C-alpha cells in the first residue's frame, strides 16, 4: 500500500504555483495513508522551498498528530539579491526567463517583500522555532542538522 501511494505521488503533476491563496488541490498528497501508516507522535519531516502560500488542507490535523518539522535550503540570492550584478533566472509562475537587477531599488524592495512573505508563511506552517530549519547552500547541511537536533534534545530535557 505504501509503495502504491509513493508511485501514485511520483506520477502526479507538480503542484500549481500560480495562486498562493489556494491550497494545492490538483496535487495528491497521501495524508490519509500517512495517518494509517505512521503512529501518532511520529516525526514527519517536510523538505521543500516553502514559497509564500497557505498551509495545505489537513495540515492542522497532521501537526497535532505528529512532530512536524520543515527543512528549507536557501540559495544566497533567495536571502538577498546581489547588488553588484544582474541575475538571470527562471520564473516558474510566468514560465519564462527573467532578469533581476539587484542595483534597482524597486527590485530589491520587491525581493525583500517576497522574502518576508516566504519566511512568514514558513513560520505559520511551523510556528515553533525548533520545528523549522533554514540552511544556506554554502553551509554544511549535516552540521546544521546535527545542531538542529541537539537543540531539540536540549529543549526537551528542560521540560
Q: Is the pLDDT of residue 136 over 80?
A: yes
Q: How far is the C-alpha of 47 from the C-alpha of 5, rounded, in Å? A: 18
The bridge status of strand 67-74 relative to strand 132-136 is: parallel
Question: DSSP label at 138?
Answer: T
Residue 132 parent element (H or E) = strand 132-136
Q: Is the pLDDT of residue 101 over 50?
A: yes
How many C-beta neighbours within 10 Å does residue 154 have?
10
Q: Is the pLDDT of residue 15 over 70?
A: no
Q: How far is the C-alpha of 40 from the C-alpha of 83, rounded, in Å? A: 47
Would you say 85 and 102 are in contact if contact means Cβ atoms under 8 Å apart?
yes
> Is the pLDDT higher at 31 or at 122?
122
Each residue's pLDDT tens digit, 40-56: 888 889 998 888 888 88
Mean pLDDT of the chain: 83
Each residue's pLDDT tens digit, 49-86: 888 888 887 888 888 989 999 999 999 988 988 888 88
> Is the pLDDT higher at 6 or at 140?
140
Ranges of each domain in the chain = 2-158
Give the pLDDT confidence score for residue 56 in this predicted structure: 82
Each residue's pLDDT tens digit, 139-158: 999 999 999 999 999 998 77
Give the pLDDT confidence score for residue 2 in this predicted structure: 63
Each residue's pLDDT tens digit, 86-99: 888 888 777 899 89
Would you say 108 and 102 are in contact if contact means Cβ atoms under 8 Å apart?
yes
Would you say 42 and 52 are in contact if contact means Cβ atoms under 8 Å apart?
no
Amino acid at each position: 500500500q505504501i509503495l502504491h501511494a509513493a508511485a501514485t505521488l511520483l506520477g502526479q503533476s507538480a503542484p500549481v504555483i500560480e495562486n498562493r491563496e489556494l491550497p494545492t488541490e490538483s496535487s495528491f498528497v497521501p495524508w490519509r495513508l500517512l495517518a494509517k501508516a505512521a503512529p501518532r507522535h511520529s516525526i514527519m519531516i517536510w523538505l521543500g522551498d516553502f514559497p509564500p502560500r497557505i498551509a495545505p488542507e489537513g495540515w492542522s490535523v497532521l501537526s497535532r498528530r505528529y512532530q512536524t518539522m520543515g527543512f528549507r535550503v536557501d540559495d544566497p540570492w533567495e536571502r538577498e539579491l546581489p547588488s553588484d550584478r544582474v541575475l538571470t533566472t527562471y520564473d516558474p509562475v510566468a514560465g519564462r526567463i527573467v532578469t533581476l537587477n539587484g542595483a534597482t531599488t524597486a527590485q530589491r524592495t520587491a525581493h525583500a517583500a517576497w522574502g518576508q512573505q516566504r519566511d512568514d508563511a514558513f513560520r505559520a506552517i511551523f510556528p515553533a522555532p525548533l520545528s523549522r530549519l533554514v540552511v544556506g547552500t554554502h553551509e554544511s547541511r549535516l552540521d546544521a542538522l546535527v545542531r538542529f537536533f541537539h537543540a531539540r534534545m536540549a529543549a526537551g530535557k528542560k521540560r
